[in-house]
Structure 1
Amino acid sequence: MCDKTFVTNAELKSPIRTHTGENPFDCDICDSRFSNKRNANNHMRIHTREKPHSCEVCGKTFVQKSNAIMHMRRTHTDIKHPCKIWAKAFATNFAVKSQMRTHTEDKFVSCKVCGKAFSHQINVTTHMRTHTGERPHSCEVCGKTFTQKTHAIVHMQRIHTGEKPYSCKVCGKEFATNDAVKLHMRTHTGDKPFSCEVCGKAFAIKNNVTKHMRTHTGDKPFSCEVCGKAFASKSNVTKHMRTHTGEKPYSCEVCGKAFALKNNATTHMRTHTGEKPFSCEICGKAFTQKTDATVHMRIHTGNKPYFCKVCGKAFTQKTDATVHMRTHTGEKPYFCKVCGKAFTKQTASMVHMRTHTGEKPYSCKVCGKAFAQQIHVTRHMQTHTAEK
């Protein structure tokens, strides 16, 4: 099953169950099941609220002994082990050595499947689960499984207990883990310790560097189970799936309109509030979305970063370059559901639909005459200005 070794046969039994899925220990109260007795005992403390392990200094109590030990090291121990490169200290010498490898890039072990190298064996073990699909750590309450134990612990705190014992010293925001506080602090300090080896762009979170690198490599390791479309991140697959399921989990609190993406719901709310938080640094024009402000800036700079691979024509927006490419390929991906006519742009398809529905959403402010397109209103207005 795996190459992990154990000293005694008794020690082997529990890990074997992560492969077989056997859970012989059950909770008498909620019927949750576990692969070993220790996890069952820890789970019972959720019901009894027992916290038998306490800090010798401040008396704070914990469900597990390991949590009490870690609390002691982080909070009360004066002995700190400094990193020679960063101005940062750690509770244990092992933690310093682990951190140093992120600077020296010493990677002693590699994945037998894809060859990716790591500084620690435990990182290889965790990485292997991306190939095997193994999720050996489960939530003691709902049974949800995870690839890493820390993820299961954080899940427990956020979803079931609601406990957020760590808070930001600057703004007071509370978090379930100390690591989350450290990441949050970078929003105050502006610290971005991780950078792209190709273009030098800096990031506050290491995982974001990995995702960013895919913009250079073109790697898209995640795919849709329905249509097979590939994506650079798992979160994008989740969002894309909603185009198939029709799920729209985010809704406007004012008008009730539903959205597939949280960001779209936030942007939509600005149509009610009138908020335009993003402004042009040159002319001061305000926008509801940051992307609109970025695109607008190109009017001033003349920057056209997107090029047609066929004729070399440059564009300020990626979508314009994509639509232009269809003049070369002849692709018309948007179809009228009534007559089947095909279009290169979705907007053209929507305008065409009005020939079937009779909808005329644009009207003249002078005489009230209605039109299917805004450009027709503009042309019509000239008949009024000519009269004067």
Structure 2
Amino acid sequence: MRCVDKRFFWAACLLLLAGKLQADIAIHGETVFPVSGDPIEDGVVLVADGRIQAIGPASEVEVPDGYERHEAAVVTPGLIDARSVVGLAGMYNVPADQDQLDTTAPIQAGLRALDAYNVDEGLVEWLRSLGVTTLHTGPAPGALVSGQTMLVRTSGNTVQDASIRDVAGVSMTLGAGIARHFESPGTRSKGVAMIRQAFEDARAYGRQDPDERSTDLGKQALLDALNGDLPVFIHANTATDIITALRLAEEFDLELVLEGAADVYRVLDRVKAADVPVLLHPTMTRAGGESRNAAFDTAARLQEAGIPFAIQGGYEAYVPKARSVLFEAAIAAANGLGRDNALAAITLGPARILDMDDERGSLETGKRADIVLFDGDPFEYASRVCKVFNGGELVSEECL
């Protein structure tokens, strides 16, 4: 065999071997929560090639020979942080790891989270160890238009490996807090006028001949939002700003998702009529400033009103920059939301809002094997995450 042929032969062998390094696994749980259906007592989840092959009671699911076995008290889908800045904001809170907000201009729609995301950031590892397998991350609140968000796995050696969707939407903020970062706008009306003008400029940009116009990354992102190709995530906490966000969405026919929304319980009827989902602030967010009306039972009120929502890890200016959705959902569960709805708010709820429920958010045959193993009730303070699988790969077993 010629040398070059041998190289190809051994390369092919290595590729075949690499494909088999990911073991077929059987996960047995005293209770398995598919989320998309009723809990399964004494349940089994079979995984092969990174996907769920079967799920059901142990009496009905036969475990094939050779499957690697794992035991847990409780088994859930991988958790999804519906909105975060992790990977852009770092745990050390020094200039070198603070890429979550550029303050050189109040409107920068061309910025991409993809270009700043750090797969080696310690906060990514921290969330992964707490069961978070998927992040919707990007620029922090604080600019009128701060850039483009992304969907990412919490494992992977490079951003290309980790990325699920390079661009998930356009991030915007309404409220008086923007004045902390920029000389203009100084008022709410000025800020909304600037956003409205940015959309009108993007609309005019779209009317130009594509072969003749100069490329403008910011206008193109806003044009994609106007065309319905990208959702717009507007961070708005006060009732006034929430209503303004709804008005902007109606005026420009935007696919709107509300973020933060501390006062949303005051305008539930308006939000429901607009058919707009909510990425709710962390349940334990500090109630001050524009979040001064935040309440522990807002998630329960959204559930009762039939408004699609998810609980986010959010952004905080102080260390560690983001909260754990596992802990936040536990508090919501204890304040009227209940265990099953709270678990859905950090799994299938965000998966549906972020349009990835065909792959993530629940334990169903054919879906990715993003799975978390607990040694007790996930929302009990003393319970621990013991193993985390992302696409069938064991990515954490720290038992935290």
> What is the TM-score of this pair, normalised by structure 2?
0.20
Q: If you compute each CA radius of gyration, which structure gives the higher value, 1 or 2?
A: 1
- Higher-strand-fraction structure: 2
- Higher-helix-fraction structure: 1
> What is the TM-score of this pair, normalised by structure 1?
0.20
